[in-house]
Amino acid sequence: MTTATDRPRFENVDYALIDALSGLNPGAWVGSRPLACGEGVLTSSSPADSLPIGQVDRPGAAACEEAIQAAADAFAEWRAVPAPVRGRVVRRIGERLRENQDALGALISLEMGKIYSEGKGEVQSMIDTCDYAAGFSRDLFGLTMASERPGHRMMEQYQPLGPIGVISSFNFPAAVWAWNAMFAAVCGDTVVWKPASAVPLTAIAVQKIAGEVLEEFGMPAGVFTLVAGGPEAGDAIVEDPRVRLVSFTGSTKVGHGVAKKTAARFCRTILELGGNNAAIVTPAMDPTVAIPAIVFGAVGTTGQRCTSTRRILVHESIFDRVADAMVDAYGKLRAGHPFQEGVHYGPLVYESVCDDYRAAVQRAVDEGGRLLCGGEALPELGPCYVAPSIVAANADMPCTHEEMFGPLVYLIPYAGDVTDAIALQNGVRQGLASAIFTEDMREVETFVSAVGSDCGIANVNLGTAGAEVGAAFGGEKDSGFGRELGPEAWKTYMRRQTVTVNYSGKVAMPQGVQFKL
Ligand code: NAD
């Protein structure tokens, strides 16, 4: 049997965290304190080489209960810590992430399969989020309103919400936590994190850093807790009345179940779900911008981003030209181990997803699509590698209305003008990211107007994938509800409170109501 020690080592890769987690690791934590688990052992293997990285002692119901209770207990203390002091804790987490960027980036790449620069980029996104959230710790402002009653003052202010749950997807194994937890922590909330089962070691590495920082500042360990278990651990968070907000990132199908359960107990949600993102390419596009941006959108992260480009809507007059340019560009792509220099994309997350991918390509052909390139397995690289595919399709094919979480893109012609392309783009149930490639100002303005894209994200002359933390992120329709990041996001993690102070020494009702005793 091959083991982790057989793993080839790449130069310029920081293996510190990979090595540190190569044994058996507790799967539940309160700050930097591990909890007793004992619900079996989960082995985390790399899709890059199918070798084990480390093992996790799987948390059961008792560990979940302990973590959630610790978060509830810590909330009582943490919410009373001045927000700018909470901001210092978050800033310090950012510094620790900076110190560990290469090592954590390597762990992310090995465990999830994204190329090393994307692994390090994910950590950069966490660092940026820490900087951003730390700034907000001095900016959790309210408003003062004029009262109609003499000697009264009205204002609204924001209060911490309570423990919040973060349930994250495999494809951003660390950043999804930061996007939520850093803002939540600054707002005075505590966090229970349930990562995806494919990537528990990354979560443990991040949790340890956050726990150590809490210790350094003498803050309660329960501010950050982790339960790296299976769906049942996620369900424990979703169902628990102590958890006041559930931020769920994952598939629309699972998100639907989460939404029902949280709604039943009036719990707030952020739902970051699946996408079916389109890029519109009009005759007025600049190919030197459009083609590279679309290729990254479709193939980057091996098509495993919620914002990956799934549909390319091309005007019929330039369809063949764009198809040729895309096929030509795909011919230059290199698949390989995520640590290898010059590689554009790595493996899919599981071998079973490769089977799903190949079945999806076959389905597209069965529905009338024409395979222009790719679609096959690449067994010489390992069981999780596939060649990205382009299928010439039409918008009526049912497969083009569903998210395939891999590097499969549909090239779809449109006739008429940009409004026809927008209608096709909006004609699916998802509404996460969208893009248009054009140098025509009228087309641009139509796309971003009220009759334009119905998605949460509308990009002009850049691809659907790749967002910055300074702007709100989230989708519409089946792609979810609510926003992470951006200038308003902090309000989601707080409760809004209206305060009216009567300093008149008299009783006064609004609307002139008289009530005399
Ligand atoms: P998934 O839905 O399979 O799992 C997401 C998380 O939910 C995991 O942690 C999983 O263990 C947990 N889970 C599973 N069943 C649960 C249950 N019954 N109750 C509570 N939690 C449960 O998704 P995935 O395969 O990890 O990620 C891929 C999907 O995520 C894609 O659809 C992608 O588009 C989406 N995604 C969306 C965004 C976004 O911001 N919109 C970002 C990343 C990924």
Picking from 437, 430, 432, 422, the residue whose alpha carbon sits closest to that of residue 472 is 432
Name the residue with tokens 């968070």: 237
The residue from 306, 354, 384, 399 that is catalytic is: 306
CA 480–ligand 1 middle distance (angstroms) = 12
**249: Cβ below 6 Å to ligand 1?**
yes
CA 255–ligand 1 middle distance (angstroms) = 7
Buried b (16+ CB within 10 A) or exposed e, 126-141: bbbbbbbbbebbeebe
> What is the distance between the terminal CA atoms of the chain, rounded to a whole angstrom?
87
Contact 104, 134 (CB under 8 A): no
CA 474–ligand 1 middle distance (angstroms) = 14
CA 511–ligand 1 middle distance (angstroms) = 49
**385: Cβ below 6 Å to ligand 1?**
no
Hey, which bits of 319-361 come out as E strands? Answer: none
| Residues present in the chain in total | 517
Largest CA distance in the chain: 89
CA 310–ligand 1 middle distance (angstroms) = 18
- The preferred substitution site among 249, 271, 353, 356 for testing ligand 1, maximizing ligand atoms within 8 Å of CB, is 249
The residue from 39, 122, 272, 403 that is catalytic is: 272
Name the 3-class secondary structure at 470.
coil
Model confidence, pTM: 0.97
**272: Cβ below 6 Å to ligand 1?**
yes
**168: Cβ below 6 Å to ligand 1?**
yes
Q: pLDDT, tens digit, for every residue of 135-159? A: 999 999 999 999 999 999 999 999 9
CA 170–ligand 1 middle distance (angstroms) = 7
Picking from 332, 318, 480, the residue whose alpha carbon sits closest to that of residue 403 is 480
Hey, which bits of 365-456 come out as E strands? Answer: 370-373, 389-392, 408-414, 430-431, 433-437
Q: State yes or no: is 306 an active-site residue.
A: yes
Name the residue with tokens 């595919």: 389
Please give the backbone phi and psi of residue 335, each rounded to the nearest 5 degrees, phi first: -90, 155
CA 323–ligand 1 middle distance (angstroms) = 32
**171: Cβ below 6 Å to ligand 1?**
yes
- The preferred substitution site among 42, 58, 118, 251 for testing ligand 1, maximizing ligand atoms within 8 Å of CB, is 251
How far apart (Å, rounded) are the C-alpha atoms in residues 484 and 496? 18
pLDDT at 5 (0 to 100): 72
Which residue puts its alpha carbon closest to atom 39 of ligand 1? 272
Instruction: Please state the atom number of ligand 1 nearest to the C-alpha of residue 257.
Output: 18
Distances, alpha carbon 85 to alpha carbons 23, 73, 129, 383, 433, in Å: 36, 19, 17, 48, 36
Other CB atoms closer than 10 Å to residue 8's CB: what's the count?
8
**371: Cβ below 6 Å to ligand 1?**
no
How far apart (Å, rounded) are the C-alpha atoms in residues 280 and 434? 8
Identify the sign of the CA torsion 255, 258, 260, 262: negative
Residues 6+ apart with CB under 8 A from 475: 272, 273, 275, 306, 430, 431, 432, 433, 455, 456, 457
Hey, which bits of 168-317 come out as E strands? Answer: 190-194, 224-227, 245-249, 268-272, 277-281, 309-315
**197: Cβ below 6 Å to ligand 1?**
yes
How far apart (Å, rounded) are the C-alpha atoms in residues 421 and 423? 5
The tally of CA atoms less than 13 A away on the side-chain side of residue 265 is: 15
Name the residue with tokens 């480390």: 54
Other CB atoms closer than 10 Å to residue 444's CB: what's the count?
18
CA 254–ligand 1 middle distance (angstroms) = 7
Distances, alpha carbon 421 to alpha carbons 60, 105, 131, 220, 411, in Å: 49, 38, 39, 53, 12
pLDDT at 1 (0 to 100): 44
- The preferred substitution site among 68, 118, 169, 260 for testing ligand 1, maximizing ligand atoms within 8 Å of CB, is 169
How far apart (Å, rounded) are the C-alpha atoms in residues 179 and 489? 10
**211: Cβ below 6 Å to ligand 1?**
no
CA 503–ligand 1 middle distance (angstroms) = 51
**409: Cβ below 6 Å to ligand 1?**
no
Q: What is the mean pLDDT of each run of 10 residues along the chain (517 residues)?
A: 74 97 98 95 97 97 98 98 98 98 98 98 98 97 96 98 98 98 98 98 98 98 98 98 98 98 98 98 98 97 98 98 98 98 97 97 98 97 98 98 97 98 98 98 98 98 95 97 95 98 95 91
Which residue puts its alpha carbon closest to atom 30 of ligand 1? 250
pLDDT at 27 (0 to 100): 98
Name the 3-class secondary structure at 255.
helix
How far apart (Å, rounded) are the C-alpha atoms in residues 484 and 498? 24
Which residue puts its alpha carbon closest to atom 5 of ligand 1? 250
Other CB atoms closer than 10 Å to residue 441's CB: what's the count?
9
How far apart (Å, rounded) are the C-alpha atoms in residues 153 and 89? 34
Instruction: Please state the atom number of ligand 1 nearest to the C-alpha of residue 308.
Output: 34
**475: Cβ below 6 Å to ligand 1?**
yes
